[in-house]
Every structure is written in C-alpha cells, then in structure tokens.
Structure 1
Amino acid sequence: MSNWVKTILFLIGSAVLTHWIPTAFFRNLDTMVHEFGHAVVTLALSGKVMYIELYRDQSGVTLSTMTKSWAIIPVSLAGYMTASMFAWFLFSAYAKGKQRLGLQVTAILSILSLVLFVRNGYGIMFLVGFIVITVVVLALTPKWLRDFYYLLLAFLCLEESVFGPISLVLYAAQNSGKAGDATNLANHTGVPAIVWAIGFTLFALWCAKQAVSAFLGRNKGAARRSRPAAVSSYRE
C-alpha cells in the first residue's frame, strides 16, 4: 500500500475516532497555531500585531498592520502552512520518543499567544484552561496518560490542518470573496483564491504524509524491538 493511500486512510480514521469523543475544546489548538503563524511572520516583517481572537467554533482572526504592502503575501501564507508543519512536528517528536518536548513546545506557544496576542474573552479562557491542563499532564500524570494526551493533540492538529484547507477549497469555489487567507492572496497577486486554497491543501497533505510516515515508522520500530531475537543453530 502506497504512503499516500496510508495517509488518506489514516486521516479518515483519525477523523472518525476523534469525533467519538468530546474534543471541540482541544481543536482550538490548531486555530491558535494558525493565528500564531500569522502573528510571528507579521512581526518578522516589521509589521504590528494588534490582537488575535479565538472563537468557540474553532475559527480565529489576526488583526495586524503592515508597513510593506507585499508583506501581506507571506503573512497570509503563514497560517495554514504553520499549522501543517506543527502537526508534522508533533508526530516527528513522537517518532523520536520526545513527547515531553512536544508538550513543552505546545505549552510555550500557548503562553506566548496568551501574553502577547490573544485579547478576546473566549480566547483567553481557552488558553488559560489549555495551559493548566497541559502543565498538569506534564508534571503529575503517569507516562501512559501523558502519551494519550499527546497523541490526542497530535491527531487533532493533523486532522484540522488538512480538513481546514479542504474546507477553504469549498469556500473559494462557492464564493471567492469569503475564502479567508486565499482571498487575501488572490487580492494581492491576481491568482484565483481557489488556486491558493488547493495549494494549501496539497502542502497540508504533504506534511500529513510526513507525519504519518513518522508515526508508522516509530510503531514498526517498536514492534521489531519487542520481538525476541532469532537464535541460530549449527549442527555438524
């Protein structure tokens, strides 16, 4: 079975499994990372971030001002691409047995978002709650529970990072003026919004393929290590 087929089946399976449990609260992590990506690139290009808002429906917005008109292009690209790469990072860390590091990075990003950017009521409530839960998991829970929590976040980020751009393709096809980052890119480049949305989707799928390969590679390695070593015999 090809890696692409495994990736698609993996995404469908994770979407089904994660919808069986109440995960709406934690899905905002992907939104936070998306908006954090916009904010960091804005600051890197000498812009100013006014605020970030996170909403209950897992949507978000970053309000910023730029001194250079062309900077809106990398800023608009940053959101979905950052979310996709973050999901890949979580699975890569898992493959290397560095779940604690992954949770520490997640907590740090959340703290920075809370202190520097997020200003609406729900966004602050989400970040405070998420940071507290993550710190408690890091400090007080047994390894099996910490690993479960880590994989829950990783699978949710992977799912959201792929299905978000796919939804953007549908929005762009129905109304190109209401396709978020794709619309911003279309307005500043002349390239249709649906083309940008498809580009985000392809990049997200490529990152998902790398993430799934890392996850399956770790599991295969663990299975091999758990098998008893073969004992060879020689008889004259």
Structure 2
Amino acid sequence: MAGSAFVFDVLNDAFGRQPSPSREVVIATAVLALLAVLVRPAWKVMRNFVTIAHEGGHALAAVLSGRRLSGIRLHSDTSGLTLSRGRPTGPGMVITGLAGYITPSLLGLAAAAILGGGRLTILLWILLVLLVLMLIMTRNVYGVISIVAAGAIVFTVSWFASAEIQGAFAYAFAWFMLLGGVRAVFELQQSRFRRQAPNSDADQIARLTRVPAIVYVAFFVLVCLGSLAFGVRLMLGPVRDLL
C-alpha cells in the first residue's frame, strides 16, 4: 500500500497543475536567458543545449519521414551530426534537413504552451524522456557526456527542487530555447555570408531541391521569430499588457 501511495503521489505531482511563478520571476528568467544568448562566453557553453535540440530535431524528422536513424554525434565546438539511412534524395532528406534549425524554437514554443497550462513537472519529465532517447542513439563520448550532464540537471531539478525552483527552471528553459534558436539561425547566415559553411543544412537542402539556400534560411528565420512571438504571448500575455 505504501508503494502504491508513493506512485500515486509521484504521478499526481507530475500530471497535476502546479502554480506558475510570479510575473516578476518569469520576466527575470527571460532576462537571464537573454544574457545567456547574448554574452559570448555564456553562449559558447549554453549553445550545446541548442545543438542537442537541433540534432534531436534531425533525428526525429528522419524517423518520422521513414528513414533509418544511424546515430547522433555532438562535438565540443557545439556542432553536431545526425546520420540516417535511406534514399539520398527525396522528401525524407528534405524534411530531415529542414528540421534542425527550427527544432529549438519549436521546442521552446511547446514548452511555453505546456507551462501555460501549469504543467511544470510534466515538462521536465518529457525533457528527460527525450534526452534518454537521444542518449541511446549517440555515438561519441563528448555527445554522451553532454546529454548525461543535461539529463542530470533536469532530473535533479524535477526530483529534488521545490516547486518554485522547478517553475523558474522550466521558464528559463523555454526562454532560452526560443531565444537561442533565433541566434543560431542568424549565426548560420553569418557563416554562409563569410563562406564558412558551404555544407550547412540550408545549402544541402538547396542542392537537393535546386531552390536557393537563402530561401530556406528565410524559412528558418520566420519559424524561429514566429515561435518567439507566440512564446512571449503565452508566457507574458499580449504586448499591450507589458506596457
């Protein structure tokens, strides 16, 4: 009976509604996330989490489009690589290529929607499940260490932290993914402009579809900025409420 009561309490905590942090805390987490994105030393470290989401997006898109996922690699320079098997051309390859740069922002938007419903703990559990699935397919040591570290942070917060800390962490995560996704896309175009990224996702898709790569960069920008705009509305309300 004690075991059943424990399981019930855990599930109730996970699926039940938790009180959202105060508006001041939500704004403070947004400021912290913005600093993590804009301050170069912080961004060099935190960008690893954007890369995890980016490569996870490639992996999920590959599986959903009928390709066979071979493995994921994460590198210390915050780059990554997702390998899949299947036709070297066609919709599956295009969908897989398109997914990477938009996934961090879409993940941030999904997190904002879940937080809007007061489901703070379930968001953290979903993140843990996604990290475990990525860990299974990761094929290099640095990638394993990165994902295990991220999972340890999320697990510690979800299991041991108070509701207030969980709420602040969850909102900081949503803000960081929304803002970090935007910066990653602008870095992509900056690298392309300097001719430092001839094999970027946008350029690879361009070669597959014979559509200029800048069209796909514009698509990434629209999705990321749109996600940020909707995320702001979900977490802070309409702009007029902020004035």
Query: Normalising TM by the smaller chain, what interval?
Result: 0.7 to 0.9
Secondary structure of 1:69 counterpart: coil
CA shift, 1:46, in A, is: 2.5
Distance 2:194 2:37 in 1: 28
Distance 2:65 2:81 in 1: 19
Change in CA separation of 1:176 and 1:191 when aligned onto 2, cut-off 3 Å: farther
Distance 2:219 2:53 in 1: 19
Partner of 1:227: none
Q: Does 1:132 align with 2:155?
A: no
Q: Does 1:56 align with 2:76?
A: yes
State the 4+ residue runs in structure 1 displaced beyond 4 angstroms. 10-14, 17-26
Change in CA separation of 1:50 and 1:33 when aligned onto 2, cut-off 3 Å: same
Partner of 2:182: 162
Do the aligned residues in 1 keep the contact of 2:58 with 2:100 (CA within 8 Å)?
Answer: yes
Q: Does 1:81 align with 2:102?
A: yes
Please, which of 78, 91, 101 is the counterpart of residue 122 of structure 2? 101
Gaps of 5+ in 1: 1-9, 224-236
TM-score relative to the length of structure 1? 0.79
> Which whole-Å deviations, capped at 9, do the CAs of 1:97-145 have from their partners, x for residues lacking one?
1121211111111010001x11111110111122122112111111121
Gaps of 5+ in 2: 1-28
Q: Does 1:182 align with 2:182?
A: no
Distance 1:12 1:173 in 2: 29
Secondary structure of 2:188 counterpart: helix
> Which whole-Å deviations, capped at 9, do the CAs of 1:20-60 have from their partners, x for residues lacking one?
69575554222112111111221223322221111233221
AA aligned to 1:95 is G
AA aligned to 1:59 is S
Partner of 1:232: none
Change in CA separation of 1:28 and 1:207 when aligned onto 2, cut-off 3 Å: same
Distance 2:88 2:223 in 1: 26
Please, which of 211, 217, 220 is the counterpart of residue 191 of structure 1? 211
How many equivalent residue pairs?
A: 212
Q: Does 1:209 align with 2:209?
A: no
> Which whole-Å deviations, capped at 9, do the CAs of 1:55-92 have from their partners, x for residues lacking one?
23322111222236212111111112222211101111
Q: CA RMSD in A?
A: 2.9
Do the aligned residues in 2 keep the contact of 1:169 with 1:198 (CA within 8 Å)?
Answer: no
Q: Does 1:44 align with 2:64?
A: yes
Q: Does 1:16 align with 2:45?
A: no
Secondary structure of 1:56 counterpart: coil
AA aligned to 1:82 is T
Percent of aligned pairs with the same amino acid: 25
TM-score relative to the length of structure 2? 0.77
The 5 Å alignment of 1:1-12 reads none
Do the aligned residues in 2 keep the contact of 1:88 with 1:208 (CA within 8 Å)?
Answer: yes
Change in CA separation of 1:184 and 1:162 when aligned onto 2, cut-off 3 Å: same
AA aligned to 2:168 is F
Secondary structure of 1:119 counterpart: coil
Do the aligned residues in 1 keep the contact of 2:68 with 2:84 (CA within 8 Å)?
Answer: yes
Secondary structure of 1:178 counterpart: coil
* 50-59 or 123-132, larger mean C-alpha shift: 50-59
AA aligned to 1:187 is R
